[in-house]
Amino acid sequence: MNLSKVLSVVFFVVAIGLGYLLWKGVEDVVEDEKRVALIEAAIIEKLQMLRDAELAFHASNGRYAENWNELKSFIQSGQIWLVQRTETTKLLEYGKEETTVTFDTLGSVPVIDSLFNERKFPDFKLDGLAVVPGSGGKQFEFFADKVERNSYEISVFEIRDPAPVNPNRRLNNNEKALKVGSRTDASTEGNWK
């Protein structure tokens, strides 16, 4: 075997090795992005569930829950009142109208059955609701307070992921971490939209 054949075989083996390493590097990045996307989808679902619970808590108590234990207690034993609203409009002289609104309380439904029923969430576990998926057991950070806007006090809340798995969300002290609500505005939207 001459030198050119030996070098051809060596270069062919090196090219195959480099090609595999390149493919493996790209494949690892794609798999990591898929893993992060799956974890973030699970976090977003939990944040939406926690937002629904906070809104129900606010409707019942006039404020938002300040921590997980308070919200958990409400989910376990709280009630959502069923109210029927009826409007009647009466035509007065000269085409004027008078509208009367009446509210009738029909009963109540437990919060856990209304928001987290088995039909919507078949594998729902209340104790795991505050645990951030993919975090190794860390819980969401809760914040609730009242802020003044245009001489009115409004209730605000924020629930956020304390340890994002996405490296882009960890920048600037977790500034872009997934969250729902706001510490300064009366928003109940999430920052994933």
Rounded alpha-carbon distances, angstroms, from residue 160 to 24, 72, 122, 147, 192: 34, 17, 24, 19, 12
State pTM to two decimals. Answer: 0.77
| pLDDT given for residue 86 in this prediction | 92
Residue 26, domain member (yes or no): yes
| Amino acid type, 174 | N
Residue 65, domain member (yes or no): yes
What's the gap between Cα 171 and its chain centre? 20
Coil, strand or helix at 55: helix
Residue 64, domain member (yes or no): yes
State the 10-residue block means of pLDDT for the chain, 193 residues long. 81 86 82 86 91 90 90 88 88 84 87 85 86 86 88 89 80 80 85 77
Q: Which residue range is the domain that position 53 belongs to?
A: 3-77+111-181
Domain total of the chain: 1
Enumerate residues 6+ apart whose C-beta is below 8 A from 157. 54, 58, 64, 65, 142, 143, 144, 145, 181, 188
Residue 189, domain member (yes or no): no
Residue 172, domain member (yes or no): yes
